A and B are shown apart, each in its own frame.
Chain A
Amino acid sequence: MRRHLLILLTLAIMIPSFGALFVGGAGVVQHEKTMERVARSYVEDMAGSVAARLEMGWGRPGSFPLNDRERFMRLRQMTWGLSIPGWIAVVDIQGNILMSTAGAEVLPLLWNKGVPVGSAMEVKNSDGEKFTLAAYPAGETGWFVVAAVSWSKLMGPMMRFSRWPIIVGLIGLLGMISVLALWKWLVAPLRALGTEVSYLQWGQEMPVADDPSAVFEIRRLRQVLHHLAKGAMERSDLMKRYVGDIVRVQEEERSRLAREIHDGPLQDVTALIHQIRLAVMDGTSPTEGGHLENAEDGARHAVQEMRALCDELSPPWLDLGLGQALNELVERLSRHLQSEISVDVNYPDELPPEVTLAYFRVVQEAVHNSVRHGRASRVSVRLFGENGQAVLEVEDDGNGFDPPDDYEELRVRGHRGLANMSERMSLIGGKLEVRRLPGGGTLVRCVWSVTSASV
């Protein structure tokens, strides 16, 4: 099972808060019950004790032994001892109040509700206020002692808990707000970061440096990842520059060598041939003539070899422009590889030297691959313009070739040709595409745009 962070966090918030809510609720219920019992026993005690006193003082009705003064004193005694919030009254059978503590006028209104004598109960008045009330008969007098406490007065503050649903709702709302906050600041930024990093092409792309809506830790994580991605990019850049430098230095070196051979030894040996011929023309003995003829043959052979070496290193005819260079190359290759190679140049503008060189090397490599690996008998090389781009295509009728997604993979496996072609194109800011043709054969396609920035 996948454990989602948001679900875990929601549970982590919800379980304790509902637990607390439940315990609190149970406490409140328990508390209310206790308060009810306390209030009942309180009013029962009060009513009972006053009733007992009355019984002692008055005895039977009709034989009231006390004068008004004594009655007053007893009432005082009665009320003095009751310094708690609540009321007590003595009523006759009709419900008339005979004696009462201050504020007990409310009692007859409650009394009418048919209170059972001898045990306390909760009643409500017409305003909905809650009271606990008890009535006790005062012996044989026919009077009743009624005692009551008001919940709102006695236990008001504690009873506020009766707004329980509002509190539950409030807590629920708070919980939801915290879940939302967690989503916005923690889960969403974390998810966004996760998605971004998993689709990131290391060495080519950078994650966004900062996410202001995320918590500090995630922002920090983002910074670290950004830093790492930057490092990867720098490394990949460096690698590219290395490869680019290698290619450049190699080409420079090859062309320097070719130039040196052409301007140095090739000219020297050519001059040598002239001198040998002049010597022969001045007249020699048959033996000398034979030696000089051999020397001339050797020197001519050396000239041909040096010329071939120059062409292999860096053909001087690249200076003539890509069109002519491709013609020359293809004519030489078809002679050398014994295959039918055609070239069709239909691009009017001159290309920069580095593009000319790159395309030239790609054709060299691609034609070799077609004939050697693809066993192609016909290869066609085309150069043309398309939407402001110089497009080079090398198409063959060989076995066909499925290129890998990553040419560097081929390099790792030791097949440098394709990786080199791709590298050369990327160095001039162009693109190389290799694909198998439906009818068999392979198409190598290079695209370079005049607007491409060359490295």
Chain B
Amino acid sequence: MTIRVILADDHPLTRAGLRDYIEKEKDLELVGEAADGLEAWELIVREKPDVALLDIRMPGENGVSLARKIKDSKLPVIPVMLTSFDAQQYVIASLRAGARGYILKTVTPDELSRAIRTVARGGLYLDGDVARNIEDRDMAFEALSAREREVLLYAARGLSSKEIAADLIISERTVQTHLASIYDKLGARNKTEAMLLALKYGVVALEELID
């Protein structure tokens, strides 16, 4: 069973490279290409591919907004962002919009196919460059405690330490200790990264974190 993929990117050379990547894989089938957001939407509606690789910056309509449209119209299409932006906030914004994957365009062919397969299976794929892999740091991943998991979920919703402390009826200092421990365990440098890594390692589910 092949995974049907479409590719939307306004840069022809980038498209050409990625097309070759996909075509080298036997279980992936590229069913269409689009050079802008409007064309991409038409293609998505017409072809209903399993996975849509969407550039964030495109003329017509950007990838994040396309992902949201797919989510809102309940199409059976999984959006994956394929972009040059390495800002973690873009990852968050994309995931909020309904994207299940976030890959940088400098991705290797192996990573690309792995990403497509992961999301097609219902998983979540985040590029190692935006949320570093644990293997990179050569460190064992230690499980979060129930309290830490709770604190992380609150923090992910954008609550400040003070608000988390008030909600969980603990001191603000305790919240900060928990956060520091979470960062340490996940190998994150900040809240956003902790969120992304927790998602990546399946510590928390996307639905828990975003919705």
Contacts and interface: CB of A to CB of B under 8 A. Distances in A.
Contact of A262 (B20, B57, B93, B161): B57
Contacts of A342: 161
A353 to B, nearest CB: 15
B189 interface: yes
Interface of A is mostly: helix
Contacts of B57: 262-263, 316
Interface centre among B16, B87, B158 (most CB of A within 10 A): B87
A281 interface: yes
Interface stretch (B35-43, B103-111, B135-143): B103-111
Nearest to A382: B160
Contacts, number: 88
B113 to A, nearest CB: 12
A317 interface: yes
Nearest to B10: A263
Contact of B20 (A273, A278, A311): A278
B95 to A, nearest CB: 12
B13 A271 contact: yes
Interface in A294-328: 300, 303, 307, 311, 315-317, 320, 323-325, 327-328
A274 B105 CA distance: 9
B109 A328 contact: no
Contacts of B92: 324
Contacts of B106: 270, 273, 300, 303
A328 B20 contact: no
Contacts of A346: 160
Given A316-B87, A317-B89, A331 B160 contact: no
Nearest to B19: A274
A88 B76 CA distance: 148
- Interface footprint category on B: 20 to 34
A274 B107 CA distance: 9
A275 B93 contact: no
The 9 closest A-B pairs by CB, nearest first: A274-B17, A271-B13, A317-B87, A267-B11, A324-B89, A328-B89, A331-B190, A344-B160, A270-B105
B191 to A, nearest CB: 8
Interface in A327-375: 327-328, 331, 334-335, 342, 344-346
Given A281-B24, A316-B57, A328 B14 contact: no
A386 interface: no
A320 B93 contact: yes
Given A277-B109, A303-B84, A316-B85, 7 more contacts: A273-B17, A278-B109, A316-B87, A317-B85, A324-B92, A328-B87, A345-B158
A320 B94 CA distance: 10
A440 B190 CA distance: 27
A311 B10 CA distance: 21
A425 interface: no
Interface of B: 10-11, 13-14, 16-18, 20-21, 24, 57, 84-90, 92-93, 105-106, 108-109, 158, 160-161, 189-193
A217 to B, nearest CB: 66
- Interface footprint category on A: 20 to 34
Given A267-B84, A281-B109, A345-B158, A335 B89 contact: no
A268 interface: yes
B12 to A, nearest CB: 8
Contacts of B21: 274, 277-278
Contact of B17 (A263, A271, A316): A271
A263 B11 contact: yes
Contacts of A315: 87
A376 interface: no
